[in-house]
Amino acid sequence: MRPRSIVVLGGTGFVGSHLVSRLVRDGHRVRVLTRRRDRHKALLVLPGLELVEFDVHDGAMLPEALRGADVVINLIGILHESGGARFSRVHAELARTVVVACRSAGVPRLLHMSALAAAEDAPSAYLRSKGRAERYLREDGGPVAWTAFRPSVIFGPGDRFLTTFASLVRLTPLLPLARAGARLAPVYIGDVVEAMVRALEDRRTHGTALELCGPEVYTLAGLVRAVAGIVGRRCWVVGLPGPLGWLQAALLGLVPGAPMTLDNYRSLGVDSVCRESGLARLGLPATALGAVAPAYLGAPPRTRTRAPQA
């Protein structure tokens, strides 16, 4: 793969930090746009990476920030609304701003992070905003060759999903759980990064949305039990019926850091399972959760390397 000039929006987050490390390692020139440069100076240890303080919502100035890039990658997203951060602005409106800026700046390639089950008629505001973002790519992309990625929940070193459950099962042997029967196909961060890297050169992915899933389907309760097994704890998961699950989500949404919100609860009402494997389409085998999670969740020495399925 020839070295490229790549601008990454959202390059300081969980997915972004893994992706920019890989892009730099592959010899690309990477520029990361961030609201607070002083908070992410650790990224500057990556050779050749440029960290630029910039408001990505500034549609008037964004084309200039992207000019000269071969590729733009938009990873910006939120799981909860707070303050001025709204799903519609961060996901949908920004997606339109970015694709229009790419067109204006002459950027030929755009990779965009969406979500599995994204749709404008989805039950949650999060999924609806992701669906609207994809519509803007289709409507406003013009000559820009875009590819959207729709992952299920992503796991790997630095995630806030499995690590949160690992902390919980260490604290308590009893865990009441809303949406315990929700179905998920957790996908490894390394596979997501590899899919994005391969898509850079794969013209077959232009104008498509790739669904990214791991090889195993879990219920949410089964996933918690799998994590408990990995870290060597016993945990009794109690699935909460609808009204109690709704109440748990509403109360947790008031907690600082909001481990769950009502919008998350609504998102879990839709299966996060692939209909078609984007990894297989790119020639990638999917990594099992049990092959990776024990190493970063702090599994005891004799924990099995394969986590049980739900």
pLDDT of residue 308: 53
114 & 89 share domain = yes
In a domain, 198, yes or no: no
In a domain, 40, yes or no: yes
In a domain, 195, yes or no: no
The neighbour count for residue 308, using CB atoms within 10 Å, is 13
Tokens of 241: 């019926």
In a domain, 31, yes or no: yes
75 & 34 share domain = yes
Torsion of CA 214, 217, 219, 224, to 10 degrees: -50
pLDDT, tens digit only, all 310 positions of the chain:
788 999 999 999 999 999 999 999 999 999 999 988 777 777 878 888 999 999 999 999 999 999 999 999 999 999 989 877 899 999 999 999 999 999 999 999 999 999 999 999 999 999 999 999 999 999 999 999 999 999 999 999 999 999 999 999 999 999 999 999 999 999 999 999 999 999 999 999 999 999 999 999 999 999 999 999 999 999 999 999 999 999 999 999 998 878 899 999 999 999 999 999 999 999 999 999 999 999 999 878 764 445 555 5
Q: How many domains would you assign to the chain?
A: 2
In a domain, 279, yes or no: no
Give the integer Cα–Cα distance in Å for 90 and 67: 22
Neighbour-count burial of 119, counting CB atoms closer than 10 A to its CB (0-12 exposed, 13-18 middle, 19+ buried) = middle
**Residue 249 backbone phi and psi in degrees, to 5:** -65, -40
Range of the domain at 122: 5-151
309 & 161 share domain = yes
pLDDT of residue 142: 92
- Among 241, 237, 258, residue whose Cα is nearest residue 80: 258
10 & 123 share domain = yes
52 & 70 share domain = yes
Q: What is the DSSP string of 256-307?
A: TT-S--HHHHHHTTS-B--SS-HHHHTT-PPPPGGGTHHHHHT--TT--SSP
171 & 94 share domain = no
